[in-house]
A and B are shown apart, each in its own frame.
Chain A
């Protein structure tokens, strides 16, 4: 399975201060996506000069959730693999499709989460 990105992702109500913190640590906002899931969800991708990445997702959650953002070439393959290992889709049967990507959060039996994403490449 080809993994194309693998970095920490924080889901938080307090995205603005979290982004400021990482900016103070030397990270810059590189990409922003809004209106995810047709809800008021925004994800910001950040990177520092040495190439380290962190994503911050603004969502209405009661407390911060630390996850791993894992971009893959084949979402369906990865989804089936994780499901076979007991992971559950945090959205039930729903997979977020923005047109440019497919994504959902998968939670392991032991409690950690992977945000699984495929960027749909246009041929």
Chain B
């Protein structure tokens, strides 16, 4: 299984404040995606000059920030099955968010940490 990205991610109802904070820490917005998961979820990818990435997702329905790990893989099904075998649960039940650019869902470990598993489809139109 090839991991193509592995970075800190924060899901937050106050994403704008977090984005401002990380901008002051030297991070710049690199990519913004809206309407994720068929909901009003906006995802912002940030990076600093040394290449350290952080992802911020604006999720209005959350009562407070949820820190997690964003893991992009080249084979979503393989990674999903791998995590399920190790006791992870899809936080959305059977639902997996899909769009032209990829698919993803938040997987919670048996011990309580979250990996946001995603597969990014390159060169989508």
A-side residues, CB < 8 A to B, are: 1, 3, 5-8, 10, 12-14, 17-18, 21, 24-26, 48, 50, 52-54, 63-68, 81, 85, 108, 110-113
Q: For residue A13, which residue of chain B has the nearest CB? A: B111
In the complex, besides A14-B111, A18-B111, A52-B5, 8 extra interface pairs with C-beta distance below 8 angstroms are A1-B26, A12-B112, A24-B82, A25-B1, A50-B3, A66-B67, A81-B25, A108-B18
* Chain A residues in 8 Å Cβ range of B113: 10, 12, 18, 64, 66
Render B48-87 as a binary contact track against A, CB cut-off 8 A, 1 for contact: 1010101000000000110111000000000000100010
- Contact (Cβ within 8 A) B25 A108: no
* Chain B residues in 8 Å Cβ range of A63: 111-112
How distant is the Cα of A85 from the Cα of B67 in the complex, in angstroms?
18
* Chain A residues in 8 Å Cβ range of B67: 65-68, 112-113
B-side residues, CB < 8 A to A, are: 1, 3, 5-8, 10, 12-14, 17-18, 21, 24-26, 48, 50, 52, 54, 64-65, 67-69, 82, 86, 109-114
Q: For residue B25, which residue of chain A has the nearest CB? A: A1
- Contact (Cβ within 8 A) B112 A64: yes
- Contact (Cβ within 8 A) B112 A112: no
* Chain B residues in 8 Å Cβ range of A5: 52
How distant is the Cα of A48 from the Cα of B71 in the complex, in angstroms?
13
* Chain A residues in 8 Å Cβ range of B86: 21, 24
- Contact (Cβ within 8 A) A110 B69: no
How distant is the Cα of A63 from the Cα of B112 in the complex, in angstroms?
6
Chain A to chain B: the 10 pairs with minimum beta-carbon distance, closest first: A6-B52, A52-B6, A111-B64, A64-B112, A66-B67, A111-B65, A112-B65, A64-B113, A68-B8, A63-B112
- Contact (Cβ within 8 A) A12 B65: no
5 A-B pairs with CB atoms under 8 Å apart are: A1-B26, A3-B25, A108-B65, A112-B10, A112-B67
Do A3 and B52 contact each other (CB < 8 Å), given the known contacts A21-B86, A110-B65, A111-B65? yes
Min CB–CB distance B52 → chain A (angstroms): 4
* Chain B residues in 8 Å Cβ range of A3: 25-26, 48, 50, 52
- Contact (Cβ within 8 A) A54 B52: no
How distant is the Cα of A15 from the Cα of B80 in the complex, in angstroms?
22
- Contact (Cβ within 8 A) B68 A110: no
Selected from B17, B52, B111, the residue in CB contact (under 8 A) with A110 is B17
